[in-house]
Amino acid sequence: MTAPLLEVRHLSKEFPLRGLRFGRHRGGTVRAVDDVSFDLYPGETLGLVGESGSGKSTLGRTVLRLFEPTSGEIVFDGEPVTADNAAGLRRRAQIVFQDPYASLPPRMRVRRILADPLLIHEIVSPSQVEERVASLLRDVGLSEEHARAFPHQLSGGQRQRVSIARALAVEPSLVVADEAVSALDVSVQAQILNLMKDLQAGRGLAYLFISHDLGVVRYMSRRIAVMFLGRIVEVGPAAEITSGPLHPYTSTLLAAVPKVGPQRTVTRLDSDHPAPARVDIGCSYRTRCPMAQEVCETDRPELVEWAPGRRSACHFALDVPQRLQASLPVPGSAG
């Protein structure tokens, strides 16, 4: 296989807990991203799923150094990314955000939004900007007329297309898509997902595709990483993860996804779980885990390879398929 485009090693990001008085730090921190490592190959999509608070968005932004990492290493195309050379990363890696209403500058016309990155990086000469803006718009399925519009004059789907065009302007090799379709209606969501797939095929883009929606992630990704409380608990090929998870959390996530079908399937009630606690020792999923044993309270499971290409941070990863599939309801029992 070729060399990875992006290598992330033991990346952590802590946020200080601010006290109310004078905005001074009171010592405490929240570890939003906790010792995360993964590789992303050129032209590949790595899906990143997790629930709110899992740290997936923070991870996406820290990888782009929009947040300064607390510790760990980011290697992009063989070069370690540091605070000093992060500027180079800005030409190679871009981001598309969730909210199509907040992610575009409200008082700029589309033309200027797209021209700015071209001018900053001197990608084309000023005389060619107009032409390049038009071609970017065409690439994302908009027309030249949209260049004159302000963001508020566009629909949600059109805005998201502009966001994508802005990301593509610098001709990046990596795009972080942070819940890029979550705010869109399903019909528009399908349009944008297909557009992103086409752009990927045409330009050899790699995506770090962050979403809480397993269906969307499954559709877009070759591999999926599942995050829970700041850590990756399982990573592997998309098809294998969704058909036979090796971590109980992945299994719970999959069971909770509503499915279109003739039967009701979401019937397995996880005991109404307590809020997950961030723990220093042991497995942080153990308070919700139906398979938890004594060892889970004392030893933190590492993310290790249990089968070719399949890594899971569970002491009993190989038991997950039997143990949890067995407790799934017989189809139709509650339908």
Partner 1 sequence: MSDALATVEQTALRSGPIAAGAGRRILRSPFLLVGLVGVTVIAAAAAFAPLIAPDDPTAQNLANILAPPIWVEGGTTDHLLGTDVLGRDVASRILYGARNSLFVAFSAMLLGSSLGLITGLLAGFFGGRVDSILMRLGDVQLAFPFILLAIAILGVVAARPAWLLIVVLGIPGWIVYARVVRSRVLAEKEKDYVAAAAAMGAGPWRRLFRYVFPSVWQVVPVIALLDVGFLIIMESTLSFLGLGLPPPAATWGGILADGRRNMVVSQWLPILPGLAIVVTVLSINLVGDGLAAVFDSRHIHRGLRRPFSSSVPSASPVDTDSEALLSVRGLHVEFPLPGATVKAVRGVDFDLAAGETLGVVGESGSGKSVTASAVIGLLDPPGRITNGAVLFGGEDLARFSDRRMTTLRGRQIAMIFQNPAVSLNPVLTIGFQLREAIRHVTGADRHTVRHTARQVLVAVGIEDPDRISRQYPFQLSGGMNQRVMIAMVLAARPRLLLADEPTTALDTTTQAQILNRLVELTEAEQISLVLITHDIALVSEYADRMLVLYAGEVCEFGPVRQVISQPRHPYTRALLESVPRVEDPAERLQVIPGELPDPRRDRVGCPFADRCPHVMDICREVTPPRYDIAPGHIAACYLWASEPAEAVAT
Shortest CB 299 distance to partner 1, Å: 25
Shortest CB 210 distance to partner 1, Å: 13
| Pick 67 or 306: Cβ nearer partner 1 | 67
Tell me how far apart the alpha carbons of residues 195 and 161 are, in angstroms, rounded to a whole number: 9
| Pick 117 or 236: Cβ nearer partner 1 | 117
Q: What phi and psi, each to the nearest 5 degrees, are found at residue 108?
A: -115, 140
Query: Which stretch, 34-42, 73-81, 113-121, 319-327, contacts partner 1 (CB under 8 A)?
Result: 113-121
Q: According to CB under 8 A, which residues from 134 to 193 bind partner 1?
A: 152-155, 157, 163, 166-167, 169-170, 185-191, 193
Q: Does 109 bind partner 1 (CB under 8 A)?
A: no
Give the Å distances, CA to CA, from 304 to 135, 170, 251, 308, 311.
45, 37, 18, 11, 5
Tell me how far apart the alpha carbons of residues 10 and 285 are, in angstroms, rounded to a whole number: 20
DSSP state of 179: S
The residue among 250, 228, 248 whose CA lies nearest residue 237 is: 250
| Pick 36 or 115: Cβ nearer partner 1 | 115
Shortest CB 262 distance to partner 1, Å: 5
The owner of tokens 């032409």 is: 131
Q: Which of 56, 61, 223, 286 binds partner 1 (CB under 8 A)?
A: 61
Shortest CB 134 distance to partner 1, Å: 19
Q: Which of 4, 38, 74, 97 binds partner 1 (CB under 8 A)?
A: 97
Q: According to CB under 8 A, which residues from 3 to 42 bind partner 1?
A: none
Tell me how far apart the alpha carbons of residues 2 and 186 are, in angstroms, rounded to a whole number: 35
DSSP-assigned states of every residue in 45-86: EEEEE--TTSSHHHHHHHHTTSS--SEEEEEETTEE--TTTH
Q: How big is the site for partner 1, counted in residues (CB under 8 A)?
A: 75
Q: According to CB under 8 A, which residues from 249 to 278 bind partner 1?
A: 252-262, 264-267, 269-270, 272-273, 275
Tell me how far apart the alpha carbons of residues 335 and 11 are, in angstroms, rounded to a whole number: 45
Q: Does 90 bind partner 1 (CB under 8 A)?
A: yes
Q: Does 111 bind partner 1 (CB under 8 A)?
A: no
Q: According to CB under 8 A, which residues from 187 to 246 bind partner 1?
A: 187-191, 193-194, 197, 212-216, 218-220, 239, 242
Tell me how far apart the alpha carbons of residues 10 and 3 are, in angstroms, rounded to a whole number: 19
Q: According to CB under 8 A, which residues from 276 to 335 bind partner 1?
A: none
Tell me how far apart the alpha carbons of residues 74 and 306 are, in angstroms, rounded to a whole number: 25
127: Cβ contacts below 8 Å, ≥ 6 apart: none
Query: Which stretch, 36-44, 61-69, 293-301, 323-331, contacts partner 1 (CB under 8 A)?
Result: 61-69
Q: Does 64 bind partner 1 (CB under 8 A)?
A: yes
Query: Which stretch, 38-46, 91-99, 125-133, 305-313, contacts partner 1 (CB under 8 A)?
Result: 91-99
Tell me how far apart the alpha carbons of residues 43 and 5 are, in angstroms, rounded to a whole number: 9
| Pick 1 or 8: Cβ nearer partner 1 | 8
